[in-house]
Amino acid sequence: MSEQTLSSTITRLTLLAPDSTCSTDLATNPWDTPAGYGPGASQEDNIPTGYPVQGGLPEEYKRASDEELDTRIRAARETLGERAVILGHFYQRDEVVQYADFVGDSFQLANAAQTRDKAEAIIFCGVHFMAETADILSKPEQAVILPNLAAGCSMADMADGPSVQQCWDELSELYKDEPDDGRMPVIPVTYMNCSAELKAFVGKNGGLVCTSSNAATVLAWAFERGRRVLFFPDQHLGRNTAKAMGVPLEKMPMWTPRKALGGNSEETMREAQVILWHGFCSVHKRFNPAQITKAREDYPGVRVIVHPECPMEVVDAADEAGSTDYIRRAIADATEPTVFAIGTEINMVNRLASEYPQHTIFCLDPVICPCSTMYRIHPGYLAWVLEELVAGRVVNRIQVPENQQGDAKIALERMLAAKP
């Protein structure tokens, strides 16, 4: 690849027009003008009802310059020493990730939360469900802190407790007369990206949690114990994983919440092997096969790797599909300079592009689409929670209700035992 082509690719990644964002929340293009979506800006966002409410960020953090915030974060971090650990998700913005002691995907961060048992506080720079998971897996005396409570996950919000319970009740009624062959009629499996309430639900009902790293292992576990799987909230991860394991598409009906039998006939549901919840990631849903065709035209020989939260047609058209950690390792392990077209969140793709300059790495989607909910964690919020800790105050603590802790932990421990 010529230097000019490489530089135009990088330019494409970093200098998009202000209106080239996928989310109206980010219409001011935060990449070039962070002040347009600065600390406190998420308080203007439309947050789903029932979500934890983030109180006002003190003015001093809204007004502080990037340099001042950097100085204050580093000073607080030094004062706290080993009393605090900062965890950052791969999709988190660089301005925040630079302060993380450990960066990883949700599976790795769940492990990290469990093993950092010396820290009194775990500051989780990810989204709400990840912080809940850290709270379940960490010691009771450790405080898990989410710097901005508005950092949620749109996919996790697509499956709620009452809707899943209603689905479960309908399925239990439908399958109650099936002959007993020693297996459960249906095993519930939830993707990590869900509330603690739903993790507790699967733990209580003989199921477990999966991540994108271990979904196939988890489905194999479930098929050994049940005749079917109810998979939520991400239809795409469920479909892509089950399809790769040989489950025919016609045996994977979609369950649309609040419709009788999820909008399916009794016969379809009796024949089902994997029942897919109607949920998706708004970031990964944006990828399409035409982007892959274009990448192959522009860069013959390009290696296309996408995340399994992408639609099935995208996974089918790609060379490989895998978790964020799979993508990272594939690039790290490439010994020859390679052109990679990646189908996942832009913060991670940009970071990989700068960490591995020997390769050409670009995002399949030419329109910037960060995980806009994770983006709500600004360094201003990080400075605030750290300085509060220095002052002996814990703010924004995430605490899973006691009645969900036990069952959710069972579901998570089953997952952690099922190695990727």
Binding site for ligand SF4 (CB under 6 A): 91, 127, 153-155, 193, 281-283, 345, 371, 373-374
356 marked as binding residue: no
Question: Which one, 372 or 405, has the nearer CB to ligand SF4?
Answer: 372
51 marked as binding residue: no
**Do the Cβ atoms of 121 and 145 come closer than 8 Å?**
yes
- In whole angstroms, how close is the CB of 190 to ligand SF4 at the nearest point? 13
308 marked as binding residue: yes
324 marked as binding residue: yes
**Do the Cβ atoms of 209 and 192 come closer than 8 Å?**
yes
194 marked as binding residue: no
245 marked as binding residue: no
- In whole angstroms, how close is the CB of 235 to ligand SF4 at the nearest point? 12
Question: Which one, 193 or 211, has the nearer CB to ligand SF4?
Answer: 193
- In whole angstroms, how close is the CB of 84 to ligand SF4 at the nearest point? 23
Question: Which one, 227 or 278, has the nearer CB to ligand SF4?
Answer: 278
65 marked as binding residue: no
- In whole angstroms, how close is the CB of 144 to ligand SF4 at the nearest point? 17
192 marked as binding residue: yes
Rounded to whole angstroms, the Cα distance separating 117 from 119 reads 6
Question: Which one, 23 or 273, has the nearer CB to ligand SF4?
Answer: 23
Question: Which one, 22 or 245, has the nearer CB to ligand SF4?
Answer: 22
**Per-residue 3-state assignment (H helix, E strand, C coil) for the chain:** CCHHHHHHHHHHHHCCCCCCECCHHHCCCCCCCHHHHCCCHHHHCCCCCCCCCCCCCCHHHHHCCHHHHHHHHHHHHHHHHHHEEEEEECCCCHHHHCCCCEEECHHHHHHHHHHCCCCCEEEEECCHHHHHHHHHHCCCCCEEECCCCCCCCCCHHHCCHHHHHHHHHHHHHHHCCCCCCCCECCEEEEECCCCHHHHHHHHHCCCEEECCCCHHHHHHHHHHHECCEEEECCHHHHHHHHHHCCCCHHHCCEECCCCHHHHCCHHHHHHCCEEEECCCCCCHHHCCHHHHHHHHHHCCCCEEEECCCCCHHHHHHCCEECCHHHHHHHHHHCCCCCEEEEECCHHHHHHHHHHCCCCEEEECCCCECCCCCHHHCCHHHHHHHHHHHHCCCCCCECCCCHHHHHHHHHHHHHHHHCCC
212 marked as binding residue: yes
22 marked as binding residue: no
- In whole angstroms, how close is the CB of 337 to ligand SF4 at the nearest point? 29
- In whole angstroms, how close is the CB of 281 to ligand SF4 at the nearest point? 3
CA torsion through residues 400, 377, 88, 341, sign? positive
- In whole angstroms, how close is the CB of 83 to ligand SF4 at the nearest point? 28
Question: Which one, 218 or 272, has the nearer CB to ligand SF4?
Answer: 218
- In whole angstroms, how close is the CB of 60 to ligand SF4 at the nearest point? 29
- In whole angstroms, how close is the CB of 420 to ligand SF4 at the nearest point? 18
Question: Which one, 137 or 371, has the nearer CB to ligand SF4?
Answer: 371
Question: Which one, 129 or 362, has the nearer CB to ligand SF4?
Answer: 129
Rounded to whole angstroms, the Cα distance separating 118 from 184 reads 40
378 marked as binding residue: no
What residues form DSSP beta bridges with 306?
321, 343
Question: Which one, 105 or 407, has the nearer CB to ligand SF4?
Answer: 105
Binding residues for iminosuccinate: 89, 106, 191-193, 212, 307-309, 324
Binding residues for [4Fe-4S] cluster: 153, 281, 371
Binding residues: 89, 106, 153, 191-193, 212, 281, 307-309, 324, 371
